[in-house]
A = this chain, B = another copy of it.
Amino acid sequence: MRGRSFLALLLALLVPLSAFAAGDPLPSWNDTAPKKAIVAFVERVTKAGSPDFVPVPERVATFDNDGTLWAEQPIYFQFQFALDRVKALAPQHPEWKDTEPFNHLIAGDMKAFLAGGEKSLMSVLAVSHSGMTTDEFNRIVVDWVATAKHPKTGRPYTQMVYQPMLELLAYLRDNGFKTFIVSGGGVEFMRAFAEKVYGIPPEQVVGSQGKLKFEMREGKPVLVKLPDVQFVDDGPGKPAGIQTFIGRRPIAAFGNSDGDLQMLQWTMAGAGARFGLIVHHTDAAREWAYDRTSHIGKLDKALDAAGPAGWTVVSMKDDWNTIFPK
């Protein structure tokens, strides 16, 4: 037994050294409960011989995008993209000066625009997200992402991502997880930057979709984006999107709003070790503070559900020492 004790001592000396050598994979996370829960979960499911061991192909983790991987205030970034697109197209559409809701946008009267409700919103989404080929749309988004700046911070939108979540994505992938986006955002909008910004390839992005029409143009095949919605990947649509696109139940899910409630319920109801996490926007100084009464990223039912269900709730103010990349 003395030999074994010596070995244990040696291991105790070596393990912290190797951990130090590898570096902390989550340096932007404070050493509070959420970080400890994440690390404990990953160790449980990756340790060979552990009763909770999960084979690599089944290590599926799904992430909401707006408010979970990047910010969503003062308005969803994809909606800002749509508004910018209307402004860019306005010179080619002189008739918009007299056409609702475009006249309000051109006049900069957001209050009048918003009074038009869902109908106005759909009009703007239609002109900004349909009528072009998929290749053209991709270029438009890539250009917008490269040039547009957030109205409050002046940062490019791709710098409005959460540094702790970038570290978490990399940490999970380093431990054999396949990381997916499962978001209410448009699937083709997100794919234009997800690989570069999050390291998530196009085939691992699940989102809302419009219908596409195959056409031959001058002997070349194109896919034209139609204004009709094919699938809305939000709320109860998220587990449906996971089932249809991925075909495996995740073992870990990350969200920030009631739109993620059903994804969390679906993920946590599977057998074996599971991990659910909600990002709670509590930091008015460094980001924004909002939850139960917010029009954007409303977090109410999912926050009530988190405690009884044992989901981890991250307070951005208390649990993250860094919000955005430096």
Contacts and interface: CB of A to CB of B under 8 A. Distances in A.
B212 A246 contact: no
Contacts of A247: 187-188, 191, 202-203, 205
A306 B206 CA distance: 34
Contacts of A220: 269
A223 B202 contact: no
A265 interface: yes
A199 to B, nearest CB: 11
Interface string A183-200: 000011001000000000
Interface residues of A, number: 37
A46 interface: no
A32 to B, nearest CB: 29
B134 A243 contact: yes
B212 A262 contact: no
Give the number of times this chain occurs in the complex, counting copies: 2
Contacts of A60: 203
A223 B239 contact: yes
Interface in A196-243: 201-205, 209, 211-214, 216, 220-221, 223, 230-231, 236-237, 239-240, 243
A248 interface: yes
A240 B188 CA distance: 12
A204 B248 CA distance: 11
Interface in A248-270: 248, 262, 265-266, 269
A294 B99 CA distance: 53
A165 B212 CA distance: 30
A293 interface: no
A252 B301 CA distance: 46
Contacts of A188: 243, 247
A230 B191 CA distance: 22
A129 to B, nearest CB: 14
Nearest to A134: B243
- The 5 A-B residue pairs with the shortest CB-CB distance in the complex, in nearest-first order: A202-B247, A214-B236, A212-B240, A221-B265, A203-B246
10 contacts: A57-B201, A134-B243, A178-B203, A203-B245, A205-B247, A209-B244, A212-B244, A221-B239, A223-B240, A230-B244
